[in-house]
Structure 1
């Protein structure tokens, strides 16, 4: 009977010791838990684009395939010559292969389709490194027979540097936000623990004519009426700082 009582006492002591260790561990974890503050920051840079990707399309519909192909080929060759005359480096000029599709109409009476002709198309992609030539390129391409034009995709050769500059502004903005919050909370900032960042850019609206009346002017006059606008480069960061309580006097 005495032996049984000793076993129970030992078990109770072990349970008490475990509870004490758990409590001490929780208190230590609470004491070591870092005090942090997490804030976001925004940065933006405005800059003018200095290059554009221009897509010019040529389409033709003719009863005979050879006629449609000849018309498209003639216009494409004229545009390629234009790019050479404008001193555009030919490594920045690309043409797609010819697309040919037969076209039919449906005869309800005969319950059959009839071949009425052929649709032929081709595209020319030009990476323009001098935006002063954009208006001239578009206007003269219209005159040569180009009948499909995509919106010029404007870009900057300094895009990566501008995005980094926007990120740097975002980090500075985040620190100002964190300092304001820390001061209001009666604390000060320590070093950053973690930073996550993202960047991007917003292209300007497609270049437009200054006035619609200028479309009636000569190509040489209208060529100078295209405006590219500005691009917006933005950066966003999320920063976690150590938060250090101010010492009490």
Structure 2
């Protein structure tokens, strides 16, 4: 009498590194009798950290004036001054890109007798995205940009990044696969089986970039700390069990 087919499902989880395992077993793995081989599916995780080497920021201007022409002219003038300042501070022209230009009417409040709001002026804005590749100059670049823009200057979207994280992704992927394999081998041993060939692999990546805190000191320069960036990979691998 052949042994009854058995099926076992095991699920494990952890706070720092989670792994989900589905273990499917059959009573016999002999292909001659038509039974299917066992399988084990494991989720493995891998993380690596690296130092950011670029800074991204959005600089720009916002100006309000009585008429459209004056608002646009003043906004463009201040924006160009900021662009010239960051280039003079060491930012390449290839790393300066206009991101948004807008002009919007400004409305006054209705009078005490009510009625429709009237246009009192126009607000023009011009934002430019920059990339600073020499982090030793990052604080000075932002400082020079804000000084050039004066009271109409705007600064936002400041973040550190790794320009080419392909090496970190490769390391994280390898760690994730090794994590999955180690878990799969353990379940195979616990089942008195051996780990066979890989059937399927799927993956997903993640990452966290440090968000710098902008603090102006007495000279109006900015204190910036790049910190570390985490690159993570998760793989789901299905193995045959022999």
TM-score grouping bracket, smaller chain normalisation: 0.7 to 0.9
Partner of 2:82: 79
Matches within 5 A, 1:195-214: 195-204=201-210, 206-209=211-214, 212=215
CA contact (8 A) 2:90 2:137 kept: no
Answering whether residue 142 of structure 2 is matched by residue 141 of structure 1, we say: no
Alignment deviations for residues 188-213 of structure 1 (CA, whole Å, 9 cap, x no partner) = 21221221112232222x2114xx5x
Partner of 1:234: 232
Tell me the TM-score normalized by structure 2: 0.77
Runs of 4+ that moved beyond 3 A:
27-32, 64-67
Offset at 1:110?
5.8
Aligned residues: 210
Query: Using a 3 Å threshold, how does the CA distance of structure 1 residues 190 and 119 change in structure 2: closer, same or farther?
Result: same
Higher relative CO (CA 8 A, sep ≥ 6), structure 1 or 2? Answer: 1
For structure 2, list consecutive stretches of 5 or more residues without a partner in the other structure.
1-29
Tell me the TM-score normalized by structure 1: 0.75
For structure 1, list consecutive stretches of 5 or more residues without a partner in the other structure.
1-26, 245-249
Higher helix fraction: Structure 1 or Structure 2?
Answer: 1
Taking the aligned partners of 2:182 and 2:217, their CA distance within structure 1 comes to 54
Alignment deviations for residues 113-165 of structure 1 (CA, whole Å, 9 cap, x no partner) = 32211111111111222222221122222222253222224321222231122
Partner of 2:199: 193
Q: 1:49 aligns with which of 48, 52, 60?
A: 52
Answering whether residue 171 of structure 2 is matched by residue 165 of structure 1, we say: yes
Offset at 1:182?
1.5
Answering whether residue 36 of structure 2 is matched by residue 33 of structure 1, we say: yes
Taking the aligned partners of 2:100 and 2:194, their CA distance within structure 1 comes to 64
CA contact (8 A) 1:163 1:200 kept: no
RMSD: 2.3
Partner of 1:107: 110
Query: Using a 3 Å threshold, how does the CA distance of structure 1 residues 91 and 196 change in structure 2: closer, same or farther?
Result: same
Taking the aligned partners of 1:197 and 1:114, their CA distance within structure 2 comes to 56
Taking the aligned partners of 2:99 and 2:187, their CA distance within structure 1 comes to 57
Q: 1:116 aligns with which of 93, 96, 120?
A: 120
Answering whether residue 68 of structure 2 is matched by residue 65 of structure 1, we say: yes
